[in-house]
Structure 1
């Protein structure tokens, strides 16, 4: 309260003669919203709101106090033809605050009011568009950049690349823009590699990485993390080993991000012993690191070892997350560790880990019980779930029923699959074959007539694929989220 009174008196005693330096002091020390509004009043009184330096400090203060909309209204809407520096500062602040739409709205107003942009306008505008995957707007601004001649600026080019490489981007346009760039640096290549890796085009990501090396551009840690993720998903163990050797030759410390990426790559490529070696050398580990080692062991069908590290993780004070428990349930399912799987699932139901089981946890548990022949338990879980069963769940139950000879429950599961995907001929064939096994020939005839009506020509035999309840847990994405490429 005393600080507020001193602040107020400082403003009032110099109300009509406050200087720019005093404004800077007030803005830099401002920690209360009410103070900021009083400073705003002084800016109006002294007609200082169009001063670019003061405006930048005001925007910074608004950002720190969560009042960016106030800054936008005060400096952009109420000012006639604001300076491009003020507009750029607002775009930058909103992009850093991860507030959608505002950066583009400011840019559109600049464009509509003939406020001349410069090369500093676009990098943070493109950052915002990439963060929120606004591809259509990115294309629109791309045309302006070309017309204005700013595409030769590598910072503008890299930030535009990032829009096309975003999660909802367009990698064909990204590659085209990359090829057209006069100059490329480590950021350019890293954005390209990351975009291809994120789009699941792992071979293209590794081709981009090899191109980077051939042109003499030295990769950084972010590049290596994304290249390792592509190696793991593509099974490119030779390239992964080369990257590990590069890291050793450069003397890079195996920090938590890089070390985890290496473990994840070795685990996915079936070289879990090398992954364990990396794990032991790391000074710092986090939950992603533990997940990577547990997943690698699970993929190697070494469930006893996975259980050991799962237990040790908890002993060292790391709380298992959703990914950890899903990996453990899947490992138990594929190795027949029914009791361990039941125990993990019961702990999830009871809330011992601080969150409720997701659909993937239910699917993995249903798969575990179905494989083990605990069909009634699997069916009970399906019927008691808080959400609708998926094809994966009914598929796991159907597979378990066929393996363990439960024809009636097989029929129920097959009917559910037909209901969920009536246009799939495989499910109709499976149901028809079930009726044949049960000797229900009228039902067989009816099922085949229905298949004929729907245009399914297959009369005999049935091929089925057992769905993977994991539904692809993207550990690599979790690892890479710890890195940002700006």
Structure 2
């Protein structure tokens, strides 16, 4: 590449530095660090993280600290590599994976998984569950399944991470299949498990399966009764599928106060299936729950407009003006390289 007068770029260096980290080649790592400086790749976070990895793998934490201090920006990987001035351990990696899962930082999560493999660490139940959770929340459930299948030990949290990931992928039948397998293997089903399964049923239109699970839950099969989240999932399932009367019946029988999510499900179900009276009722309840949220007034106003009730449209607008509420602008954000530059687009 050098003989052909082709200069390495910010995509080249991470691969080169990874191979040096694998072989613990400190001297060659320093040579590449010099080239990074000469070619002006100081502001690329992936190059910096790769340098941290080289120095950490060679046990040269003084260099690791120096690179870290000179970084113009840092992410979860940077902090993990530098954590407490030592080479990362299982605890720091679990924390880092949790951060990746919460922020949808897939590339970082893959990098951490690669580090774990290269370090020869065994996937214990905590580390493996953290990886499954990260992949599921980042939309890469196939990788999560591969991690799950490679684990020697699993617990309820591991199964929940997998089932939740499948539910997020809106794969209802596969989610239910893994849920049945969980029961067959004698793994304890908890509240989180059933929320995930009912949520998957809702997004896949599996009404009969959802009813069956909720009935078993209500009958005490799992050792606890339905909570407000289980009711919210069931009402959402029924409203989405057009069983609006059944959804309202479930609402009335529920021993909890309805939440915003529940009223939102009824509002959406009413609009989808042509019951604008139900949507109006739900929108009014949302306004009552959050009188300072302008979005709910806009929803109610739009429903009245759809029904041709223009006097009510004006009343809602008057309420907004009286309470000094304004319609929020639509907003989109676009991130450009370098990654600290974000452009925000507003829609009037």
Map of 2:99 onto structure 1? 230
Matched, 1:452 2:296: no
Matched, 1:406 2:247: no
Looking at structure 2, the residues matched to 251 and 438 of structure 1 have their Cα atoms a distance apart, in angstroms, of 64
Matched, 1:208 2:67: no
Q: How far does residue 234 in structure 1 lie from its aligned partner after superposition?
A: 2.2
- Cα distance 1:273–1:445, how it changes in 2: closer, same or farther (>3 A)? closer
Match of 1:352 among 221, 227, 230: 221
- Deviation sequence 1:162-195 (CA, Å, 0-9, x none): xxxxxxxxxxxxxxxxxxxxxxx9xxx9xxxxxx
Match of 2:163 among 285, 288, 294: 294
Looking at structure 2, the residues matched to 349 and 330 of structure 1 have their Cα atoms a distance apart, in angstroms, of 17
Looking at structure 2, the residues matched to 435 and 360 of structure 1 have their Cα atoms a distance apart, in angstroms, of 30
Map of 1:112 onto structure 2? none
Match of 1:364 among 211, 233, 241: 233
Looking at structure 1, the residues matched to 297 and 181 of structure 2 have their Cα atoms a distance apart, in angstroms, of 47
- Deviation sequence 1:186-237 (CA, Å, 0-9, x none): xxx9xxxxxxxxxxxxx75444114349x5x211111111111112222222
Matched, 1:341 2:210: yes
Map of 1:433 onto structure 2? 302
Larger Rg: 1 or 2? 1
Note the aligned Cα RMSD (angstroms). 2.5
Looking at structure 2, the residues matched to 300 and 367 of structure 1 have their Cα atoms a distance apart, in angstroms, of 17
Looking at structure 1, the residues matched to 119 and 82 of structure 2 have their Cα atoms a distance apart, in angstroms, of 20
**Larger % of strand: which?**
2
- Cα distance 1:431–1:244, how it changes in 2: closer, same or farther (>3 A)? closer
Looking at structure 2, the residues matched to 297 and 438 of structure 1 have their Cα atoms a distance apart, in angstroms, of 38
Map of 1:419 onto structure 2? 288
SS of 2:200's partner is helix
Matched, 1:323 2:192: yes
Map of 2:142 onto structure 1? 273
Structure 2, unmatched stretches of 5+, are 1-60, 66-73, 331-348
CA contact (8 A) 1:267 1:292 kept: yes
- Cα distance 1:267–1:457, how it changes in 2: closer, same or farther (>3 A)? closer
- Cα distance 1:430–1:265, how it changes in 2: closer, same or farther (>3 A)? closer
Matched, 1:303 2:172: yes
Map of 1:34 onto structure 2? none
CA contact (8 A) 2:83 2:92 kept: no
Match of 1:220 among 84, 89, 95: 89
Matched, 1:374 2:235: no
Looking at structure 2, the residues matched to 443 and 462 of structure 1 have their Cα atoms a distance apart, in angstroms, of 23
Q: Give TM-score scaled by structure 1 length.
A: 0.50
CA contact (8 A) 1:291 1:324 kept: yes
Looking at structure 1, the residues matched to 110 and 302 of structure 2 have their Cα atoms a distance apart, in angstroms, of 49
Match of 2:120 among 251, 258, 281: 251
Looking at structure 1, the residues matched to 312 and 108 of structure 2 have their Cα atoms a distance apart, in angstroms, of 55
Looking at structure 1, the residues matched to 111 and 127 of structure 2 have their Cα atoms a distance apart, in angstroms, of 14
CA contact (8 A) 1:259 1:278 kept: yes
Looking at structure 2, the residues matched to 270 and 431 of structure 1 have their Cα atoms a distance apart, in angstroms, of 34
CA contact (8 A) 1:206 1:231 kept: no
CA contact (8 A) 1:206 1:230 kept: no
Q: How far does residue 451 in structure 1 lie from its aligned partner after superposition?
A: 2.5
Q: Give TM-score scaled by structure 2 length.
A: 0.68
